Amino acid sequence: MADARVHAAIVIGVTGHLIQVEADVTDGLPALLLAGLPERGTWETRDRVRAAFLNSGLAWPESRATVNVLPAELPKGGTAADLAIAVALLAAAGAIPDSGLGRWVFLGELGLDGAVRPVQGVLPMIHAAVAAGIPRAVIPAANAGEASQIPGAMVVPVRDLAQLAGWLRNGELEERGRSSPLVGRCSPASPVDLADVIGNAAARRALEVAAAGGHHLFLQGPSGSPATMLAERLPTILPPLNDEASREVSEIYSAAGDLYADRFVPGRPPLVSPHHTSTQAAIFGARRPGAVSLAHRGVLYLDDAAEFPAVILHGLRRPLEAGEVVVARGDWTIRYPARFTLVLASPPCPCGAVACVCTPLARRRHLARLAGLLDRVEIRTRVVRLNRPGLLGDSPGESSAAVAERVAAARERASARLTGTPWRTNAEVPLLELRTVFRTVAGALDPLDRALNTGALTVRSYAQVLRVAWTIADLGATDTPGRDEIQEALALWKGESPGPDGLPAR
């Protein structure tokens, strides 16, 4: 009969926080008092832990047990502290030795049958533990894959409570541990390649410019056009994520739960394409990060974009501006990172057919749904469906590797120019700096200035064209944009790339 103290952790948003579980077993009538958990969760936790004990063949304390979860002010709504509560009770009841327990953090939900079930956010929770000087963690076996990514941490995957109790009783925990190898960043091969896309030279160029400058993109094409193929290949020409970005994205996937954790390949910019029937919670996040956060530092692709509900299309403007989403949850506000390149695809009309039968009004209404988002998009292009590949004289396109090389060189030019500023890509540079610090060739801006004066361009779109012109200059290894770069940027902004029906895209 003693008291015991065990580390656990919780995740709020995508940030892990270390917490403590104290258990005390004293003489008295058998009872378990749980403090420090939200009222609603207390009964459920008590029932789960008790059932897990009994179904694991462990003796439930035949006396008065008190468990306190600290600190009190954190929202400990999850179930990840179950395992730590069980371990603290075992130690306090004298069923396992308590020496050395403080060097570990215990993470896991208990099933009624004693199984240790996976939890959300293992990665950020272990990061928090490592940062607090506790690099050893017992984790659910189902989370072992994601936890193996943390350099310097030793993890022990555990299947059920009986197994863990046995290891603790015999002092075997340490030898069950796996230290993660300190592997360097791999350059992950992608299963898709830009060479798969036939023809569509204009759209491929638009994709390359978008990748080089970090610009948002609108792919307009009829049903069955290779818009999705193109969007899916954008990550293959983007620069790989550096270690810091990879870690950031891994934590988001871990916080989204074990279903998602394995979907992120470290180093590869993620691509997320939610369906237009997705809920607001699935898109923006709630208890777990949503699609906009899973696309962080990668690509958010909305196919059939005009089919998404207005509330979602409107809501996307906040992450596009702020690079994050804010979700209110009880007394807590959770911020999820959400800085992504947006790619929209839509046919120009509701019917989507090449031989369109829609009225001019229906066509206007269709794209008007996207107006609020298209305001934020710098590049528009048409994607055409090729019915007779080969017969049109279209040779296979360049490979992703060849395009990625030009994109990387362009990004390097941009980042060298932007050294000492808070911006890394052309897409981020404010208009004022574009006009004052980074000068263009004399006279090159005349067509833009005229368009601004006649109202053909807004101040916002003026800046968008100028940003894209800088990216085109970077791709062409030109020091500063001249007339040609401005012309092409203006054409990309207008969506004037050639289409089969000869209609402008906007």
Residues that bind Zn ion (CB under 5 A): 349, 351, 356, 358
Which of 389, 410, 386, 392 is CA-nearest to residue 205? Answer: 410
CB-nearer residue toward Zn ion: 26 or 359: 359
DSSP line for 59-100: PPPSSEEEEEEE-TTS---SSTTHHHHHHHHHHHTTSS--TT
CB-nearer residue toward Zn ion: 99 or 387: 387
CB-nearer residue toward Zn ion: 271 or 349: 349
CB-nearer residue toward Zn ion: 51 or 358: 358
**What minimum distance in Å lies between the beta carbon of 365 and Zn ion?**
11
What is the distance between the alpha carbons of residues 341 and 211, in angstroms, rounded to a whole number? Answer: 9
Q: Using the Cα atoms of residue 367, residue 369, residue 371 and residue 377 in order, give the sign of their dihedral.
A: negative
**Contacts with 181 (C-beta within 8 Å, 6 or more apart), sequence order:** none
CB-nearer residue toward Zn ion: 121 or 222: 222
CB-nearer residue toward Zn ion: 176 or 369: 369
CB-nearer residue toward Zn ion: 103 or 365: 365
CA dihedral 295, 296, 299, 300 (to 10 degrees): 50
Q: Percent helix, strand, coil in the chain (nearest 5)? A: 40, 20, 40
Give, in order, the Cα–Cα distances in Å from 114 to each of 54, 172, 203, 205, 303: 8, 20, 55, 57, 44
What is the distance between the alpha carbons of residues 1 and 95, in angstroms, rounded to a whole number? Answer: 10
Rg (CA), the chain: 28
**What minimum distance in Å lies between the beta carbon of 387 and Zn ion?**
18
**What minimum distance in Å lies between the beta carbon of 347 and Zn ion?**
7
Contact 84, 48 (CB under 8 A): no
**What minimum distance in Å lies between the beta carbon of 367 and Zn ion?**
11
**What minimum distance in Å lies between the beta carbon of 221 and Zn ion?**
12
**What minimum distance in Å lies between the beta carbon of 362 and Zn ion?**
7
Segments of 13-165 assigned E as strands: 15-26, 31-35, 64-70, 104-106, 109-110, 116-117, 136-140, 154-158
What is the distance between the alpha carbons of residues 400 and 412, in angstroms, rounded to a whole number? Answer: 18
CB-nearer residue toward Zn ion: 326 or 351: 351
**What minimum distance in Å lies between the beta carbon of 223 and Zn ion?**
10
What is the distance between the alpha carbons of residues 481 and 470, in angstroms, rounded to a whole number? Answer: 6
**What minimum distance in Å lies between the beta carbon of 415 and Zn ion?**
43
